[in-house]
């Protein structure tokens, strides 16, 4: 199956959002996606975007994405965060995920980051196996902590 990988453009963002929703469903959080395709356009394109999105295209359709942005580690320095790596269900097993992953690592290497980092659900064995084969380190003794928009508003008003 032929596919090509390039940076996402404005007209890709509806397809990108569909894949984000597909992943949320897989991660058992079907109602978690609060953004729109316009949010992706607003923050992912133009000057000083908040993220860079790569798309895998097959017959003019977005069938996979990888979405990354820079972070700063006070131990390592400039790093790249892999926020999402998604291949639409019916297009899996065709090398698209690997190609998107390789694109991310090449981008990281070319931009001289000191580390690439991301998170994975502890029950997502298929993803863990995939990452393990590529030579990564897993850190299992950290909790993620989140204060969402409503919690933040409540907290700030008490400060």
Please list the active-site residues: 131
Binding of residue 35 to a second copy (CB under 8 A): yes
Contact 3, 99 (CB under 8 A): yes
Least distance (Å) between residue 58 CB and a second copy: 21
Name which position in 9, 10, 11, 134 contacts a second copy (CB under 8 A). Answer: 134
Q: CA–CA distance from 42 to each of 19, 20, 80, 91 (Å)? A: 18, 16, 20, 28
Handedness of CA 155, 117, 12, 61 (dihedral sign): negative
Which of 12, 17, 53 lies closest to 35, judged by CA?
17
Please choose, out of 5-13, 56-64, 89-97, 147-155, the segment that lies near a second copy by the rule CB under 8 A: 147-155
Contacting residues toward a second copy, per CB under 8 A: 20, 24, 29, 32-35, 39, 43-44, 48, 50-51, 67, 69-78, 81, 83-84, 102, 105-106, 108-109, 113-123, 128, 131, 134-149, 151-156, 159
């Amino acid at each position: 199956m032929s596919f090509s990988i390039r940076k996402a453009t404005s007209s890709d963002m509806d397809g990108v959002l569909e894949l984000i929703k597909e992943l949320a469903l897989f991660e058992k959080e079907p109602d978690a996606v609060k953004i729109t395709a316009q949010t992706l356009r607003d923050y992912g394109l133009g000057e000083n975007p908040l993220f860079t999105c790569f798309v895998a295209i097959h017959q003019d359709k977005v069938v996979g994405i990888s979405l990354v942005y820079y972070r700063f580690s006070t131990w390592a320095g400039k790093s790249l965060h892999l926020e999402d790596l998604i291949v639409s269900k019916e297009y899996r097993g065709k090398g698209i995920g690997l190609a998107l992953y390789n694109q991310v690592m090449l981008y990281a290497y070319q931009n001289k980051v000191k580390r690439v980092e991301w998170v994975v659900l502890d029950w997502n064995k298929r993803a863990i196996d995939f990452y393990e084969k590529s030579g990564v380190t897993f850190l299992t003794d950290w909790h993620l902590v989140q204060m969402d928009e409503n919690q933040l508003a409540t907290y700030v008003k008490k400060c």
